[in-house]
Chains A and B, each alone.
Chain A
Amino acid sequence: AQTVTQSQPEMSVQEAETVTLSCTYDTSESDYYLFWYKQPPSRQMILVIRQEAYKQQNATENRFSVNFQKAAKSFSLKISDSQLGDAAMYFCAYRQPHTGANSKLTFGKGITLSVRP
């Protein structure tokens, strides 16, 4: 079974600084997708960024980028120029692309990010 581990329960960053959130996963599959979701206090889960395992290039979305290390099964999220609105819980998630029993999203426990003004 696939597992996703986020070992840091909380992190803090100064506004305008850069922060990296860590995630590791375990799978025997070679093809899969990885995601970072953001859940602010409003509780609405928002997709931040996704990475396809077959792509060697790391995904980027504006101030958000990932460091995907397939061999190490590591998938970290870097937030540059942190803003107060980035304060939220961040979840790392794994999903296989095909249908069937493993098409669900498997989430890590999440990390609470606070941004200091």
Chain B
Amino acid sequence: KAGVTQTPRYLIKTRGQQVTLSCSPISGHRSVSWYQQTPGQGLQFLFEYFSETQRNKGNFPGRFSGRQFSNSRSEMNVSTLELGDSALYLCASSWGQGTYEQYFGPGTRLTVT
């Protein structure tokens, strides 16, 4: 069974632009969560989607948004990029809500200049 895939793997954007990251979960998994990883803040939860609905949201500004499609694929969008948004963005999938095992993708490395 294929693992979680994320595209693109690397991205360079300019401050003020917007970006969309994509995540395809493991086949059969219906829940997708997003995390931001930075050297200073570590791993922080962004949001969780299940059956196309956002079920859970972390403490991030409204510039961070996401959605989930009927095939469970998910996208996250960051508008008006700031230098501090430079990070590794990790997507994790699990079979269902409240299911305790999350499987992570390789991440998207976003650099904002």
Contacts and interface: CB of A to CB of B under 8 A. Distances in A.
B99 to A, nearest CB: 8
B56 to A, nearest CB: 6
A104 B48 contact: yes
A56 interface: no
A21 to B, nearest CB: 16
A71 interface: no
B21 interface: no
B45 A105 contact: yes
Contacts of B107: 43-45
A100 to B, nearest CB: 7
B88 interface: yes
A30 B104 CA distance: 26
Interface in A45-66: 45-47, 50, 52
Interface in B17-59: 33, 35, 42-43, 45, 48, 55-56, 58
Interface residues of B, number: 23
Given A44-B104, A104-B56, A105-B33, A99 B42 contact: no
Contacts of A45: 90, 92, 104, 107
Contacts of B48: 103-104
B95 interface: no
Interface residues of A, number: 26
Interface in B66-113: 88, 90, 92, 97-98, 100-107, 109
Contact of B45 (A35, A47, A106): A106
Given A43-B107, A45-B104, A101 B56 contact: yes
Interface of B: 33, 35, 42-43, 45, 48, 55-56, 58, 88, 90, 92, 97-98, 100-107, 109
13 contacts: A43-B88, A44-B106, A45-B107, A47-B101, A52-B100, A99-B97, A103-B55, A105-B33, A105-B35, A106-B45, A108-B42, A109-B42, A110-B43
Interface of A: 33, 35, 37, 42-47, 50, 52, 91, 95, 97-101, 103-110
